[in-house]
Amino acid sequence: MSISSNNLTIKDIAKLCGVSKSTVSRVINHDPMVKEATRNKVIAIIEQYQFTPSKSARAMRGYGNKVIGIIVTRLDSLSENQAVQSMLPIFYRHGYDPIIMESQFSAIKVKEYLSMLKSKQADGVVIFAFTGLEQSLLSTWQNNSVVIARKFQDHTCICYDDIGAVRLLLAHLYQSQQHQNIGYIGIEQQDQTTGALRYQAYLDFCQQYQLIPNAALGQLSYRSGYELAQFVLAKNPSAIVCATDSIALGLNKYLNEKQLEHITVASIGNSEILNFLFPKTCAVELGFDQAGNYAAQELLSMLQNQFELKNITIPCHLIS
């Protein structure tokens, strides 16, 4: 069957796949009731021929002409929610309809979402990157995407100052508050930024000032902070640095239950809930809301044909 990819229709896709037009339409609209094998067959043909539904067809399905995808790693992420909350009003003001999706740290899910956004002719996408996400997935979105949290070559990226934040917090604890025994609860080093970069910054500081490292690494969760607390506390630290505000919440809960009020808790990141429940926590603000603002503004510039690759690092500051 000879079909020009330039004039491909849903009917043509259906013929190539050996399915009905309605089945193709259901795949394009992400209907969960379509069988997986059928969905994969249709998606493969759509990607092979680089098919996109017409603007009029999309409008008939109820989608506006200005759509932006936002792919977060976790819907319950305090930091990512702060960033998303700051970018949404900007997109709304400019007439864009955001679609928020959760990758759950799965590159496969990101690929599916990008394919879906392409089929809906989304104008652009903001992606919260994670370890294991390859920039090759974003090759067709180079001119209309912004990546948050990691640096990808040939893409506009908004990053946090992971190393600077750790050093700023440790310098405050060691030099200003005179803590000599500072523990650390972090993320396993498979995570390149929140895990490896922040942990290495802690080790480097300890080496520079001849401090004995006392660290435990686990998952990015409240429970991990709670469960790892006992291992760090076994060496009697006077202060403990937490790689994230989620971990700090878990640690604070443990200390509160054990009535260990003499331990200073320090956090990389300062969520509203951490500040409300445990206001004595010393924290470094990474600028999640600023990241969302920058991401929205940079993406809008791209969509207005003002394309300029940028790598922006958000400055952090101490909240004591």
Q: What is the pLDDT of residues 72-131, one digit of tens each?
A: 999 988 889 999 999 999 999 999 999 999 999 999 999 999 999 988 889 999 999 998
**Domains, in order of start, for the chain:** 1-51 (1.10.260.40), 59-160+290-319 (3.40.50.2300), 162-285 (3.40.50.2300)
pLDDT confidence of 54, banded at 50, 70, 90?
Answer: low
Q: Which residues pair with 265 in a beta bridge?
A: 240
Does the pLDDT value for residue 320 go beyond 80?
Answer: no
Can you give the pLDDT at residue 56?
41
Nearest one of 283, 223, 279, 276 to 247, comparing CA atoms = 223
Checking if the pLDDT of 270 tops 70, the result is yes
Whole-Å CA distances, 244 to 38, 85, 222, 264, 284: 42, 19, 9, 15, 10
What is the reported pLDDT for 153?
86
pTM for the model stands at 0.75
Mean pLDDT of 312-316: 95
E strand residue ranges, 48-189: 67-72, 97-102, 124-128, 145-148, 156-160, 182-187
- Predicted pLDDT at 282: 96
E strands in 91-245: 97-102, 124-128, 145-148, 156-160, 182-187, 215-218, 239-242
User: By three-state DSSP, how is residue 103 classified?
Assistant: coil
pLDDT at 7 over 80: no
Residue 59 pLDDT: 43
In tens, the pLDDT along 196-239 reads 999 999 999 999 999 999 999 999 999 999 999 999 999 999 99
